[in-house]
Amino acid sequence: MSKELETVDLSALYTPKLPLRYGTESCYITLTDYRFAAETIALRNTPELGKYINYVKLTPEDQERWLAGQLERDDALNFVLIAKQRFAGTLSLYDIKHGKSCEYGRLMMPDDGRRIYALAAELLCMSFAFEILGIKTLYCVVMEGNNAVLNFHLKNGWHRDARYERFERVNGSDAHLVGLSVDRSEWLKCFAKMRPLAKRLLAPVLLETI
């Protein structure tokens, strides 16, 4: 295997981004590397999950090449969600403008009971963006018609924001991506909305110290 495709192992100092874990013992996000490659590839290659993304069959080489490139960037953090010691999905913060803004996305979760942890993923990423990165505005986009995800964000305190609206080609068709955002000043109110269910997903220790 070429150096370019060498297996990415954060603990081997292959990249300046060292192992990172944020959350509680029962549920946390961690920077992704070779340990989660098989599960990430299997998830990404599930056709049913490709309706709202550009679906391309992913190979192990594709994943390693992409991840190696991402780990060299200072404007992207790619996580996996671990819930009760099990892989529960992927999510990212990218286009990071430190201290200013970043985009939240690439959230994909297996279509089984683990999707209950979507709220935990959202809370942890929002907390990391606002409390660790010091972001002032967190934004995301949702494809028009994906009402379940749109309503999920709105319920958690996000609001529609035309500044981040855009149009892209998705799976060969024109797609309208609805922009949403949350400002740092709104974060604690959002946390209050998510807290009741989050208490059942995350250890009480984290919730009492935020």
With a threshold of 0.75, does the pTM exceed it?
yes
Q: Give kind and range of the element (H or E) at residue 97.
A: strand 86-97
CATH of the domain at 48: 3.40.630.30
Give the pLDDT of residue 16: 86
Residue 209's pLDDT band (cuts 50, 70, 90): very low
- The tally of domains found in the chain comes to 1
Give the pLDDT of residue 50: 62
Give residue for tokens 């150096």: 3
Is residue 20 in some structural domain?
A: yes
The larger pLDDT score, comparing residue 152 to residue 51, is at 152
Give the pLDDT of residue 1: 36
Is residue 210 in some structural domain?
A: no
CA–CA distance, 104 with 90 (Å, rounded to integer): 11
What mean pLDDT, rounded, does the chain reach? 88
Give the pLDDT of residue 188: 94
Is residue 208 in some structural domain?
A: no
Is residue 207 in some structural domain?
A: no
Q: pLDDT by residue (tens digit) across 85-108? A: 999 999 999 999 999 999 999 999
Is residue 110 in some structural domain?
A: yes
| Residue 98 structural domain | 3-202
Is residue 185 in some structural domain?
A: yes
Is residue 93 in some structural domain?
A: yes
Residue 208's pLDDT band (cuts 50, 70, 90): very low
